[in-house]
Structure 1
Amino acid sequence: MMNISKILVVIDPKKNNDILVSRARRFALIYGASVELYVAAYSSAIESSYWFDKEGLEKAHEGYLHGKQVWLSGIVKALKGAGVQAEGCVELVKPLHRAVLDRCENVKADLIMMQAEHHSVMVRALFTNADWHLIRESNVPLMFVNNNEWGSHVNVAAAVDPLHADSQPEGLDDQLLETAHDLACRLPAELHVIHAYEPIPSGVIAEFDAIIADYEIYRDKVRDRHREELDELLKRNVESSTIVHFEEGIPARVLPQVVSEAEIDLIVMGAISRSGIDKFFLGSTAERVIDHLRCDILILK
């Protein structure tokens, strides 16, 4: 489970941050954590307006930072009024992901919270965005907050994959379940567990049908193996009353569907490391689904 004493909340002055701040307040209160609201301020318009005027550029930067600090102080004051130990920081830095990672290390934050970004396939294919950099490089849990209000009834889910334990950090699925269970107790919320699996579809490999004469028997064996591993994982970590979604299908399609149908508010997922690559990735399944999950996403490593 997570031990949180400091939350770094990445604020974007160009967006409405009300729900992000509300979520940070809620997490700060349930964990007894302090909050730093962080603005990595940079204005390309200012930079381009003072090419040959160093003194003018410095004054413009000072005015820009002062305006953001005054604006941020209002949010900090509101958090303090709600009983949260809070402070704000504005820095003139870029790129965003590097600034956030450095600030996280400097203040020893245990959790980074920021608004979720949804990018088109074209944009993601051409540009590496700040959120993907953070997913790959952050050493602390990341929570991407969607612009959805939480109602009085909250649903938390853990997405697990017990049969792929060899390709992920040891005990990651247990960590996901422990964290989701802890959150469900603290918020409080109803706990869900999601496991989607896909047997090799008939016809994908030309010789597959010849190798395995009875595909249905093979399919049943695959299902039973996944169910056995999942049941063992659940037995170690959660109560029998936990709602379990055990679904056959492509995980990239199943996860968003379950999240939508079960009205999941927060899903806990894991980051895994691919062999031959020295940075952390979410893994192919999660990379395909994260932009389609219209709920908060908590990523653990």
Structure 2
Amino acid sequence: MKIRQILNNNVALVERGKIDVIVVSKGISFRKKVGDTLELDEVEKVFVPDSNDVLENYSYLLSHAQQGTLDATLKVIEYAEKNIEEKVNDYLYLTLLDHIDFALKRAMKDQFIISPLAWEVRKFYPKHYEIGKCALEIITNETGVEFPESEAVAIALHFINLQESQVDIKDAIKVMETVSDILTIIRIHFQMQFDEGSMNYNRLVTHLQYFAQRITLGEIYNSEDTELNKQVRIMYPKAYICVNKIRVYLLNRFQKELTQDEETYLMLHIHRVTQRNESEE
């Protein structure tokens, strides 16, 4: 494999046959230069993007990741694969890396979130929840940042998503319609088109899918975190106005009131997906 571009100390863009791939190799910037050959046994991980857009997303995310964040991600994946006895795809590596990076940024602001799915994950996916808890220990060991146990749920969801869910077709249609309607509300409110290849968009859609499933099944999550909710409302007023429109939609369609925790989660996701400047995060 020939090195085309060194993205940071540990990540490079290389030619493998007729395609470009991204490789993780510790200290590559100190050992190699552009044009040098890289052997497979020198590489920790190879990412094979399936389009130029995906290649750009992967390159940006990997080149901007701190070494501790990247090491934590690789170790969490390794641990998870052994426990669920299933290989994960490249996209999960990147979404988990992005998640951990964002969680570390939130931790610096003392923003910790209780997932609306905490009860469901602990009850129905205990193995995945244990993976999430172990992941928090790994992240702390690699970065020195400690997280409350509640953060384990969001990590567990990355691996739960590997499993195909069995959903009644009528409920599945209702969920898809609800997700589509909420996305339309967000798009019209902000007068924007979504970048459907972005991490933020896919993270928002994943959250909305789980959210819509619970709404259609009549389930309510009601563990209010008033202080964090107030803080996020102040920080992201545009997202808060948008969420109030979603609140009206849910009330009209399902006769369900949006809880504070769901409101907080939606505001965070909407803020991220509508920010065009990465430095604003």
TM-score (norm 2): 0.27
Structure with the bigger percentage of strand = 1
Q: Which has the higher contact order (CA 8 A, sep 6+)?
A: 1
Structure 1 or 2: more helix by fraction: 2
Q: Which entry has the higher C-alpha Rg, 1 or 2? A: 1
Q: TM-score w.r.t. structure 1 length?
A: 0.26
